[in-house]
Amino acid sequence: MKTGLCFKRALGNRRGAVAVIVALLSLVLFMFVALAIDIGYLAVTKNELQNIADAGALAGARRVGRLYECNGDIINCTESMSYEDQQTYAVDPDTVGDVVSDVASRNQAGGRDSIIINDTDIVIGQWNSDTVPGTINPVTPVAPTAVRVTARRDSQANNAITTFFAGVMGVDTLEVSADATAALSGLSSMAEGYLPIPVAINHDYVRTMPCNEDFVFHPSSGDVCSAWHVYQGNDYKNPSGSQMKKMIEDMTAFEFSSPETTAYDSQYVFTNGELANLFTSEAIQNLFHTMKVINEPPLDNDDDPETWTTYVAVYDDTVEGCSPNREITIVGFAAVKITAVAPPPETTIYAQVVCDLIGRGNPNGTNYGVLSAIPGLVE
């Protein structure tokens, strides 16, 4: 009898212990489930905020690019801003902030139907891709090229998100935010007529040349590695002196326009000859004198009737260097300010490479100094 009683007591103790263990395990399991649900909700909200930050940054940077495209007046968009004006243009932060705020207000995150972006969370500046990772310089709103946006659900804006079950553990709210930066990027294509001088620069030289410093821009010789070409897909197939002269004369008379050109797709026909007869016949001088007084993009991107700021192609050539004599792929676009064209015996073009000239065209190309007014996400 005593043995049976002891057995029953031991069995009862075990059942009590198991009940305690089950209760503890259930509590732990509940805590894990609660944590999983709240962390999952936090991740979803983070993604929603990231989408808002991405959209806001792109919209803000596009507004910046649009101001350049429309000479500061997007309502009456009739002409692009000159290079000189671009370099001194101060963007009104409210003009960009209104666009960013409008985008955010149309989206939801964490169950909140409309997201508010603080003014301090909209940074307008210049994008520096030389650092790793890239950085935005917000010191001045003059000549901006990028917009950074932070979207929040925290104590600073829109309130922190309320947890579902983590409150049991004393965690009633969770804070989350997301950042994005959009910047004007290199042009990947040029429209018809946007490359009005049949000269291209070697890509290695463009990368190492300082901005706005004088150089001798003489195809096949001089300070800069550059070369004559006859574009592609036109009647001037042979890059001889006579064909080149006829093409330049037709360009001067606005009877020929450069073809649409796409980086890494289009190829130009180059010649390694210096073609001094272009200077002897005054063909290149006449082109310069005709174009420099236009003072309107895209043919002439400056306001000075004595200089000609225009686009040139950048060619990829690591074999023949400065004297190509074949078809070569175009890899991007640069901008030069031509200040003078000297006739024989000099037969020389004097110019400067200009940087951060913003033009119209497709984005996401290599930046050789010419930026598209259409932005892309960089951060």
pLDDT tens sequence across 351-365: 999 988 998 888 999
pLDDT value, residue 47: 95
pLDDT value, residue 37: 75
Q: Between the ranges 42-51, 134-143, 158-167, where is the mean pLDDT highest?
A: 42-51
pLDDT band for 137, please (50, 70, 90 cuts).
confident
pLDDT digits (tens, 9 = 90+) for 212-237: 888 887 777 667 888 899 998 788 88
Residues 6+ apart with CB under 8 A from 28: none
pLDDT at 288 over 60: yes
How large is the average pLDDT for residues 136-155?
Answer: 89
Q: Say if CB 337 and CB 370 are below 8 A apart.
A: no
Query: Two tokens at 325?
Result: 């004599």
Q: Say if CB 247 and CB 236 are below 8 A apart.
A: yes
The pTM is what? 0.83
pLDDT value, residue 111: 87
Percent of the chain with pLDDT over 70: 87
pLDDT at 119 over 90: yes
pLDDT at 26 over 70: no
pLDDT digits (tens, 9 = 90+) for 83-98: 999 999 999 999 999 9
Is 100 or 162 the better-scoring residue by pLDDT? 100
pLDDT at 194 over 90: yes
pLDDT at 6 over 60: no
Q: Say if CB 217 and CB 349 are below 8 A apart.
A: yes
pLDDT value, residue 210: 81
pLDDT band for 317, please (50, 70, 90 cuts).
confident
pLDDT value, residue 69: 92
- Phi (first) and psi of residue 84, to 5 degrees: -60, -45
Residues forming beta bridges with residue 315, ordered by sequence position: 202, 330
Residues forming beta bridges with residue 184, ordered by sequence position: 375
Alpha-carbon distance of 81 to 71, in angstroms, equals 4
pLDDT value, residue 224: 80
pLDDT value, residue 376: 92
* Torsion of the alpha carbons at 279, 282, 285 and 289, rounded to the nearest 10: 180
pLDDT band for 39, please (50, 70, 90 cuts).
confident
Alpha-carbon distance of 122 to 124, in angstroms, equals 7
pLDDT at 208 over 70: yes
Residues 6+ apart with CB under 8 A from 350: 214, 215, 216, 217, 338, 339, 340, 341, 342
pLDDT value, residue 79: 86
pLDDT value, residue 162: 83
Among 28-37, 59-68, 124-133, the least confident range: 28-37
Is 290 or 271 the better-scoring residue by pLDDT? 290
Alpha-carbon distance of 219 to 199, in angstroms, equals 7
- Residue 192 exposure: Cα atoms within 13 Å on the Cβ side: 7
CB atoms within 10 A of CB 344: 11
pLDDT at 318 over 80: no
pLDDT at 58 over 90: yes
pLDDT at 312 over 90: yes
- The overall average pLDDT reported for the chain is 87
pLDDT band for 25, please (50, 70, 90 cuts).
low
pLDDT value, residue 1: 52
Q: Say if CB 89 and CB 63 are below 8 A apart.
A: no
pLDDT digits (tens, 9 = 90+) for 362-377: 899 998 989 999 999 9
